[in-house]
Amino acid sequence: MSSARGWRSLAQDGALAAVVAALLTLTVLATPAAGALDLAAVLIAAASLVAWRRAPLVALAISTVCMLVYATHAQPGPPAAFPVLVSVYGAVRAGHRLLPALAGVLFLGAGLAVSLASAGPGEERLVVQNTTLLLGWFLAAGVTGTVSLHRQAYVQQAEQRAAEAERTREEVARRRAGEERLRIARELHDSLTHSISVIKVQAGVAVHLARKRGEEVPAALLAIQEASGDAMRELRTTLELLRDPDPDEADEPDGPSGLDRLGDLVERARAAGLPATVTVSGERRGLPPEVDRAAYRIVQEALTNVSRHAGAAAAAVRVDYGGRELVVQVDDDGKATRDAPPVAGVGLRGMRERVTALGGRLLAEPRAEGGFTVRAELPLGDLT
């Protein structure tokens, strides 16, 4: 964008120089006393205007010297001041004060002296009037340059204030988000941690008493004990994440939940009474942490939904390690039909959000043969 602006301003300055050169060339040709030296001075002064934005003092020096040569030799009148006026404006606009003033005084003073020296009887008044007119033009160029300088400074300050305000808004938003995460972490800790701890302790006591009496421990009770332990572990991980959005996973003793825990997840589902099978195809390899975690959560939520809503159903979990994507699919043979699809709840919405955030696709709908299917296609990115 800035490069395009630069080329556009350069083209505009080139057009200005060409127009001034053409007008002054006509003036030279119409002035009887002008010669080749005057024409060369005019063309050089006009060409210097190409640099009035980028090198204003250079343009000021060249145009002032060249037009002094033309003005003192050919005495063309006010037109000789055009390139100098543009250069004075550019120099003042760039923040210079003394040099543009000196250039204006030098040009006006030399022109006035030469004109008065060559003026005939009664022409002095006309010379003074022309010089006064040029003085007004030079003052106008300086005032215009000053106004433009102040406007540029105001625009820059406004842009800086806007950028600072945007940074402040982002900082406030981050601070509020952090405070909200801490509040949620406190609420979760105060409400869920105690309840899950009680469930875990009670299940452990029941298992201990059953074994002490020599009784067979029910599989459901063991599943409750294991699930409560896993729930405590995941809750601690969630609380750590809420308190620190960028935790170092190396500090987590159990590591994040991923497909390496898929077997434990399916075993818990079986212990809870859900027949489940697992099929893994493709070459197993390391996955991006976010993909690994999302795949685990999708299987976890899908199995939970089967247990809750599918009735006496069995689940089949399939994991396919593809070249560019990981496909996770959970099918059940429950009571869902296409004529009466289940209402999407928070769990399905959460799965869709996870998959969408990774740029993948999610299919969650009843199957033609009955039951429900959840299929997530998660891109792996560049793992090479």
The CATH number linked to 343 is: 3.30.565.10
Residue 356 lies in a domain: yes
The predicted structure's pLDDT at residue 59: 92
Within-domain flag for 350: yes
- pLDDT of amino acid 253: 41
Which contiguous run of DSSP H or E holds residue 317? Answer: strand 315-321
Reported as a single tens digit per residue, the pLDDT across 141-182 is 999 999 999 998 888 889 889 888 888 888 888 888 878 878
Question: pLDDT, tens digit, for every residue of 91-133?
Answer: 999 989 899 999 999 998 888 888 888 777 777 788 888 888 8
The residue among 139 and 202 whose pLDDT is bigger is 139
pLDDT at 30 > cutoff 70? yes
Residue 286 placed within a domain: yes
Q: What is the domain range of residue 307? A: 275-379
3-state secondary structure (DSSP) of residue 52: coil
> CB within 8 A of 361, min separation 6: which ones?
355, 376, 377
Mean pLDDT of 351-359: 89
Tokens, residue 47: 């060409």
What integer pLDDT is reported at residue 248 of this predicted model? 45
pLDDT digits (tens, 9 = 90+) for 37-64: 989 999 999 999 999 888 999 999 999 9
Q: How many domains, the chain? A: 2
Whether this prediction's pTM lies above 0.85 is answered by: no
Residue 48, domain member (yes or no): yes
100, 118, 136: which is the final residue of a domain? 118
Q: Could you tell me if residue 240 is inside a domain? A: no
Dmax over CA atoms of the chain, in Å, equals 138
Residue with the bigger pLDDT between 192 and 171: it is 171
Token duo for residue 8? 């556009």
Average pLDDT score over residue span 273-279 = 88
The verdict on residue 79 lying in a domain is: yes
Q: Is residue 112 included in any domain, yes or no?
A: yes
Report yes or no on 153 lying in a domain: no
Please name the residues in contact with 263: beta carbons below 8 A apart, sequence gap of 6 or more.
278
Gap between the Cα atoms of 15 and 331, Å rounded: 72
Q: Which of 72, 103, 118 is the last residue of a domain?
A: 118
Q: Which of 102, 118, 134 is the last residue of a domain?
A: 118
Q: Which residues pair with 375 in a beta bridge?
A: 329, 363
The model's confidence at residue 216, banded by pLDDT at 50, 70 and 90, is confident
